[in-house]
């Protein structure tokens, strides 16, 4: 068992992020003083963050709590697919981004029936595009190829 457990690493990262952000509030020269400084409030908040993060770190170091092992491959696949989907919506349009995402996610999550995988992965995005872009005229992003999806 190593000293670095998942919980401890997360706590440490939170502490470091808070401290880094707090140091940011001091570097720059700001016009005005007190309540007029844009850094007045963030400094209070980040000070609080760092103080509590220290307490949290101490608590994590004092007793080791185990966490259940995640199904790393599955969750990574879903997370990456979701991010890729969200990133590509504005580039290739909602429909073309959603179909591959749904395909990958459904298969990863254990749905194997090819008919229902394809049906859901194509049918749901198509229905959403039809509803929003053509019935409600509240357009979702469209692809650069044709304007209607």
Partner 1 sequence: MIELLPQAASLIFTIEGIGVLVLGTMLGIILGALPGIGSTVAVAMILPFTLTMSQAPAILLLLAVYAGSVYGGSLSAILINTPGTPQSAATCLDGYPMAQRGEAGLALGWSTVASTIGGLTSAIVLLLAAPQLAALALNFGPIETFALILLGLTCIVSVSEGSLVKGLLAGGIGLFLGCVGGDPITGEARFTFGQFQLISGFNLLAVVIGVFALSEVLIRAASRDEADHGLVSFSGIVLPPLAAWRGRVKGLIKSVAIGNGIGILPGTGAATAAFISYAEAQRSSPNRKNFGKGEPDGLIASESANNAVTGGALVPTMALGIPGDAITAVMLATLTLHGVTPGIRLMADNPVLIAAIFSGFFVINLMLLPMGMLVAKGAAPLLRLREGYMLVLIVLLCAVGVYFVRGNPFDLLVMGGAGIVGFVLRRQGMPMAPLVIGMVLGPTLEISLRQGLIITDGSFGAFFSGHPIAVVLMALAIGMLSLPLVGAWRKRYVATE
Partner 2 sequence: MKLKAQIAGACALVLSSVLPAVAQEFPERPVNLVVPFNAGGGTDLLVRGFAPHFAEALGGDVFVSNMAGGSGTVAAGALAGQKPTGYQLGYWSVTVSTIQPQIKDVPYGIDSWEPVCSVAASPTMLFTNAGNGIETIEQAKAAIEAEPGKYLFGSSGPGAMTHLTAVAAFEGLGVLGKIKHLPFQGSGPALQAMASGTIQFFGDTEILMQRGDFTPLVIFSNERSPNFPAVPTAAEVGIAAPLNELYLWGGLFAPAETSDEVVAKLSDACGTAVASDGFQSFASDTQTVLKYRNSEEFDAFFRAQYEGNTAIIKAAGL
112 neighbors 143 (Cβ within 8 angstroms)? no
Q: Binding to partner 2 (CB under 8 A): which residues in 102-141?
A: 137-139
In terms of Cβ atoms closer than 10 Å to its own Cβ (0-12, 13-18, 19+), residue 18 is: buried
8's tokens: 């401890």
- Output the smallest distance, CB 29 to partner 2, in A: 15
- CA separation for the pair 149, 146 (Å, rounded): 6
Chain residues that interact with partner 1, rule: CB under 8 A: 6-7, 10-11, 14, 18, 21, 24, 30-32, 34-36, 38-42, 45-46, 48-49, 52-53, 55-56, 59, 65, 67-72, 74-75, 77-79, 82-83, 85-87, 89-90, 94, 98, 101-102, 105-106, 108-111, 120-121, 124-125, 128, 132, 136-138, 140-141
């Amino acid at each position: 068992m190593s000293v670095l457990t998942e919980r401890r690493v997360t706590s440490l990262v939170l502490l470091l992020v808070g401290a880094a952000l707090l140091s940011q509030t001091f570097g720059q020269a700001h016009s005005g003083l007190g309540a007029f400084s844009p850094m007045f409030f963030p400094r209070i908040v980040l000070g609080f963050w760092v103080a509590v993060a220290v307490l949290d770190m101490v608590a994590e170091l004092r007793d080791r709590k185990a966490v259940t092992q995640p199904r790393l491959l599955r969750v990574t696949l879903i997370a990456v697919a979701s991010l890729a989907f969200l990133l590509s919506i504005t580039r290739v349009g909602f429909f073309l981004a959603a179909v591959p995402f749904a395909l990958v996610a459904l298969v990863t999550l254990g749905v194997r029936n090819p008919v229902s995988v394809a049906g859901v992965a194509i049918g749901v995005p198509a229905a959403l595009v039809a509803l929003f872009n053509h019935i409600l005229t509240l357009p979702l992003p469209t692809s650069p190829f044709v304007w209607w999806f």
